[in-house]
A and B are shown apart, each in its own frame.
Chain A
């Protein structure tokens, strides 16, 4: 599903030609198989978010390649990246990233709107998704009127509405209490088991990492492959 080869990245700080180069990732190689849940763990500043941002196309690497679902995405133009994200990727963010002026319904519907789906289909799919995440009665609520757990469910519904094969999650439980965290993790497991959706998650939470099939750790920009957790559990 994801193939990362010899990926390196460095931040450039300061003015052009007088900039300081701060290396973040060094020769990262990673492969995520279809249907896997992979957790990337590491300390703050280790480079795990940068790796996710590179895989998401939010930043572009200067060296190395990334392929997702058989498509070489490194080097794509901004427009192509946007189109690719819309069709192949779903995102779950720590701070939900819902548009405050839109209702829960409109936030979930947004990817369908961007895709240009016809209205009848949109209504059907959005209502079905609201039902799936248990937020039917909150469809006309704005994000500010929902709890953290509800907002994250809206965010997940939005990520799933176009049935992407891969979901990238950045600290998905970071803003949730333990009860909502458990609920979310079981939902992720269910999606993975029932629909075969691949998850690549960034977390520093061991409980979150515990649902992953595989854990990879980033230490000072170097990737260290972990053991198959499920195998250990078994």
Chain B
């Protein structure tokens, strides 16, 4: 018997019991949609957690630390030679951190960085150029936003929070910083010696870093040249001889691989060099394990709904076999093989499952979209709170759809198997005598 004929046969049988078949499909639809929706909450939480981790750091980034002391140039050279390492960025922290221009002032992190490796690692300028001379600096994109005048007394008095924020903008430096000469005060932030402020050096802003891709990230760092840093350090230690000298080495070293897949292998090589590593990939590994277990639990619970729906399919198919026993008997008498009979009934339960899975998946996507759309509005309306940005309660990746479809179809076929097998055992004589 050809598949086309089996399909025709099954379709006409399903049409005869339309209501019962549709109720069974409805049960499968609800079961499947429930499974997907429940698991989608787990997937959404997982996604949020991963996005959160990844929003701070890059997947191909490995942070390097040394247990005792700082990482030296020699070690950096070794790191650069490791296979699949794209760049090794290294920064030296500079203790002095204050810049002024007229009444405007900013305290920020100041580093001397190896700019070629920063560029290789993905550092880009919004405008301007990299420093060529000793007293040239590059500042972060938000540097000027934090470059502010001291607020006069009672400046914010009587203003609401929103009004204060608006008023604060009046204090911010509004001109383009490129080409401007700032005064760099060579005083450590924690130095209580007020006279130390007299030591300073003029620096020229030649470049401004590119706006970070993360909307919330604020970058106000300043990058000075190695020569200037040396001068700053020498000046500071000349002034504070009794406090000892700064150790030579890098404060912040990061290794960038070509892709996230290479992070594990590169980390292993670095660890063999007696260096400590930390990467998002390793953090995600543990996070993923935890969430995989969590999602598996949710899928298991959702699977119970599918099992309940499968009881409906089992009942429908058993009734179909019982009702059609005479027809089965006649077909067997004429020459239908047990295999043909079985396939017809399996096809029928398969169609019920397929409809249920199809509709259930569509329904789940609709609910998921609706929930993600409506929930922030509901939270805002009824709880008077703003949900976190990019917050989602339900997320259905294609992998979840594949898992749900496989489970639902598997359970459907299993529940249709027994009635289909029963159909093959219909006794021809009993069926012809209408005894069944």
Binds B, one of A28-36, A66-74, A93-101, A220-228: A93-101
With a cutoff of 8 Å between Cβ atoms, the chain A residues found around residue B429 in the complex are: 53, 58-59
Q: Which B residues, 1 to 22, have Cβ-Cβ distances below 8 Å to chain A? A: 1-2, 5, 9, 12-13, 16
Which residue of chain A lies nearest to B9 when distances are taken between CB atoms in the complex? Answer: A113
Does the CB pair B334–A93 fall under 8 Å?
Answer: no
Partner of B335, one of A93, A97, A114: A114
With a cutoff of 8 Å between Cβ atoms, the chain B residues found around residue A91 in the complex are: 333-334
| Chain A facing B: main interface SS | helix
What is the bound-complex CA distance between A131 and B354, given in angstroms? 41
Query: Is B270 part of the binding interface, using a Cβ–Cβ cutoff of 8 Å?
Result: no
Q: Chain A 65-97 against B: per-residue CB contact (8 Å), 1 yes, 0 no?
A: 000000000000011001111110101010101
Given contacts A93-B432, A97-B432, A101-B12, whether A114 and B331 have CB atoms under 8 Å apart is yes
Does the CB pair A83–B335 fall under 8 Å?
Answer: yes
A109 CB to closest chain B CB, in angstroms? 9
What is the bound-complex CA distance between A97 and B433, given in angstroms? 9
A-B contacts, CB under 8 A, total? 63
What is the interface residue range for chain A against chain B?
Answer: 20 to 34
What is the bound-complex CA distance between A100 and B331, given in angstroms? 12
Does the CB pair A85–B333 fall under 8 Å?
Answer: yes
Partner of B333, one of A78, A84, A95, A97: A97
What is the bound-complex CA distance between A159 and B333, given in angstroms? 11
Which residue of chain B lies nearest to A106 when distances are taken between CB atoms in the complex? Answer: B12
Query: Is B77 part of the binding interface, using a Cβ–Cβ cutoff of 8 Å?
Result: no
Does the CB pair A82–B336 fall under 8 Å?
Answer: yes
With a cutoff of 8 Å between Cβ atoms, the chain B residues found around residue A158 in the complex are: 334
With a cutoff of 8 Å between Cβ atoms, the chain A residues found around residue B338 in the complex are: 78-79, 82
Q: Which A residues, 182 to 208, have Cβ-Cβ distances below 8 Å to chain B? A: none
Partner of A86, one of B13, B16, B334: B334
With a cutoff of 8 Å between Cβ atoms, the chain B residues found around residue A14 in the complex are: none
Query: Is B339 part of the binding interface, using a Cβ–Cβ cutoff of 8 Å?
Result: yes
What is the bound-complex CA distance between A113 and B12, given in angstroms? 15
Which residue of chain B lies nearest to A79 when distances are taken between CB atoms in the complex? Answer: B337
Which residue of chain A lies nearest to B430 when distances are taken between CB atoms in the complex? Answer: A58
B150 CB to closest chain A CB, in angstroms? 92
Which residue of chain A lies nearest to B424 when distances are taken between CB atoms in the complex? Answer: A78
What is the bound-complex CA distance between A116 and B1, given in angstroms? 5
Of A53, A79, A83, A97, chain B has the most CB atoms within 10 Å of the CB of: A97
With a cutoff of 8 Å between Cβ atoms, the chain B residues found around residue A42 in the complex are: none
Of B9, B334, B428, B429, chain A has the most CB atoms within 10 Å of the CB of: B334
A94 CB to closest chain B CB, in angstroms? 10
Query: Is B327 part of the binding interface, using a Cβ–Cβ cutoff of 8 Å?
Result: yes
Q: A86-B335, A97-B333, A113-B1 are in contact. List 6 more A-B contacts (CB 8 A).
A: A79-B338, A86-B336, A99-B330, A114-B1, A114-B340, A116-B1
Residues in chain B within 8 A of chain A (CB atoms):
1-2, 5, 9, 12-13, 16, 326-327, 330-340, 428-429, 432
Residues in chain A within 8 A of chain B (CB atoms):
53, 56, 58-59, 78-79, 82-87, 89, 91, 93, 95, 97-101, 110-111, 113-116, 158
